[in-house]
Amino acid sequence: MSDAQPITGLTADRIAPYVFLCGDPARVDRITEGWSDREEVLSVREYRMIRGKRGGIPMAAASTGIGAPSTAILVEELVKLGAHTFIRIGNSGGLAPDLGLGDLVVTTGAVRDDGTSRSYVAPEYPAVADAGIVQALLGAAEGRGLACRAGITWSLDAFYMRNAVLEDDGSMGSMSVEGYWPRAHAAQIEDMRAARVQNCEMESGALLTLAGIFGVRAGCICVVSDRTPWPGPAEIDLDRNMGQCIEVALAAMDEVAGQG
């Protein structure tokens, strides 16, 4: 009986045990640049995956698209086929006031404010990163002298409605159509900041929750590509320091894979 997965069509002979995850399909090429035996094994919907070898160890990089639902689908199918170690490389919004554009944040745990992870397990279940991956990411960043910290990430849905912009009067508003903005969201942003949540993005909650449930290892490192609230849409920079973020993630995976 074929082990081909229903959404991606992947089979066990086309994956690798160590997998980098990113939102953007174009970033897969950047992550896998210079690998040996490099082969594109998936290009379906938002999912693109290249596998190869790095230092003789089979690895893969795959795009999840944007948000928790598509991330969960890919993680489910990869785990079923034998993948066991994941590092997400992504963009995020900075919540901590002292974070600057291009700074790196390693997620230690995620606030699960997404619908997908709650479909799997009660909201009290923690979304926690693998300690070994966290330490490897921090060590790789420190060794390169990069601005990087570890902390809690707010993982949420609805990119346009949940991203706050700064209005002319100093209040927070929404990027959504006609400025649609539930008033409680401004208070929620301040609450998260008061609780020392470092950054916000859309995938870590699902990834870390599923890793805990399925007994695999996962971690996340993100570039601060904008700050909440935005002074304006021009303040987003999705590529600021992404090259060094990828470099750190690669070095961390090398260390984790070398330990087995």
Model-wide pTM > 0.75: yes
Task: Give CA separation, 14 vs 24, 39, 82, 150, in Å.
Answer: 20, 9, 11, 33
DSSP string over 167-192: -TTS-EEESSGGG---HHHHHHHHHH
At residue 231, does pLDDT exceed 60? no
Contact 96, 151 (CB under 8 A): yes
Give the other-Cβ count within 10 Å of 142's Cβ: 11
Question: What residue ranges in 114-202 does DSSP mark as E strands?
Answer: 127-128, 148-156, 164-166, 172-174, 199-201
Q: What is the mean pLDDT of residues 242-246?
A: 95
Q: pLDDT band at residue 160, thresholds of 50, 70 and 90? A: confident
pLDDT for res 233: 53
Helix axes 68-80, 204-214, angle to 10 degrees: 30
pLDDT for res 168: 75
Q: What is the rounded average pLDDT for all residues in the chain?
A: 93
Query: According to CATH, what is the number of the domain 12-258?
Result: 3.40.50.1580
Distance between CA atoms of 242 and 222, rounded to whole angstroms? 8
Distance between CA atoms of 233 and 33, rounded to whole angstroms? 31
